[in-house]
Amino acid sequence: MKKSILIFLIFGFLTMFCQGQTERMEVKIMACIYENYEDQGTEFKKALSEFEQLLISEKILKNGTGKSYKAIYEKIILENAFNYKPSKSFIEQINNIRVPKNASLNKCQSKLLKNDKIEFTKGTELQIVLDSIMNSKNLSPSKVANGILSVLDESDFDLDYYKMSMFIMFDTMNHTNDDGITRKLPEFKEEGEIENDLSKAIKIYIDGKNQIFVNNKKVNIEALKVQIREYEVNNKSESIISLKTERETMYKTYVDVQNAIIEEVRLLRQQLALEKYSTELDKLTREQLFEIKQVYPQKLVE
């Protein structure tokens, strides 16, 4: 969990550019995004507004001010934990919106970088802080949140850019299971980049139409569960699951497939726990749980 927080925050802020002499860079970057939608970002802006209202209605945010957003990080510092679980996913909402014109968007952002050369910005400073935390032996949610607030203030969180970053953080944190699998669409790798030996792996593929294939055969979600279960039983500690998607794959389908994998592996672990220790999986000692996971390791390669 701690590692996941840091991974998200570093990823989320890597492309951050901050205050210029006239208009803030974050505003310009969001303008690039909006203007490259066919509707000039109307649906995207609506998704941001609706998700903010959801957080307010669920009492995660007090209101839409930067002070309220800042309070989220302050609570993380106080509790040294991430305890926010919105009822809906922001990423699922924006997945239903048509993608912007990528070529034009990239051109717009490149133009910004060339025209707004700032030697030392808040984004640069924040990246230095996060890099320092990553290299620290004392990695915790509190330390990461404290690092962010050492750079950003209330006025920063009034901007759509930082609100969007927080909404993505909710999804990232709440789609991480007990085994540390971050449930978001994986990065796309070039051919030959994956070094794992997948010769004995069960190969799951989700195409651009959200159709699921197991070892090149089309299946529905229930058939997928059956094949995962059979594969795990037959291969146990040597099992490895390969999961690939297309860029057009919807986030919901990806999460459904991951849910199926997690559910079946957990059921097998539960069954083994009862057989071997006559105890529920959640009540095992750390040593017992380690042994169970050695039998059913849930190795997922994306």
Q: Supply the pLDDT for residue 232.
A: 93
- Asked if pLDDT for residue 213 goes beyond 80, the answer is yes
Q: What is the pLDDT of residue 152?
A: 87
Mean pLDDT of 170-191: 48
Q: What is the mean pLDDT of residues 89-111?
A: 71
DSSP-H helix ranges across the chain: 2-13, 25-35, 42-57, 66-79, 90-95, 102-115, 122-134, 141-149, 160-174, 221-235, 251-277, 286-295
Both tokens assigned to 244: 């690939």
- Kindly indicate the confidence band of residue 121, based on its pLDDT and cuts at 50, 70 and 90: low
The predicted pLDDT at position 137 comes to 55
Residues 6+ away with beta carbon under 8 Å from 285: none
Task: Identify the residue with better confidence: 246 or 227.
Answer: 227
Among 292, 297, 299, residue whose Cα is nearest residue 270 = 292
Mean pLDDT score of the chain, rounded to an integer?
Answer: 76
Q: Please give the Cα distance from 254 to 228 (Å, whole number).
A: 15
Task: Give the three-state DSSP class for 205.
Answer: strand
- Judged against a pLDDT cut of 50, whether residue 4 lies above it is answered with no
Q: Among 163, 129, 123, which residue's Cα sits nearest to residue 25?
A: 123
The count of residues in the chain is 302
pLDDT exceeds cutoff 80 at 3: no
Q: In this predicted model, what pLDDT tens digit does every residue of 43-91 receive, in sequence order?
A: 888 989 999 999 999 999 999 999 999 999 899 888 888 788 888 888 7
The answer on pLDDT for 101 being more than 70 is no
Pairing of strands 212-214, 202-206: antiparallel
Higher local confidence (pLDDT), 192 or 175? 175
Q: Can you tell me the mean pLDDT for 10-30? A: 54
Rounded Cα distance between 220 and 242, Å, is 17
The more confidently predicted of residues 213 and 258 is 213
pLDDT the model gives residue 90? 84
Residue 247 has pLDDT above 70, yes or no: yes
What pLDDT is stored for residue 30 in this prediction? Answer: 82
User: Which of left, alpha, beta for 113 (phi over 0: left; psi -120 to 50: alpha)?
Assistant: alpha
Whether residue 236 is predicted with pLDDT greater than 80 in this model: the reply is: yes
pLDDT at residue number 251: 65
Mean of the pLDDT values across residues 120-137? 65
Looking at residue 16, its pLDDT comes to 41
Q: What is the pLDDT of residues 131-146, one digit of tens each?
A: 677 666 566 778 888 8
In the chain, the domains with their CATH numbers are 2-174 (no CATH), 202-301 (3.30.420.270)
pLDDT of residue 1: 43
Sheet holding 202-206, edge to edge: 217-219, 212-214, 202-206, 241-245, 300-301
Residue 202 has pLDDT above 90, yes or no: yes
**Is residue 116 over pLDDT 60?**
no
Q: Supply the pLDDT for residue 109.
A: 66
Q: How many percent of the chain have pLDDT more than 70?
A: 72
Name the residue among 193, 171, 159 with its Cα closest to residue 27: 159
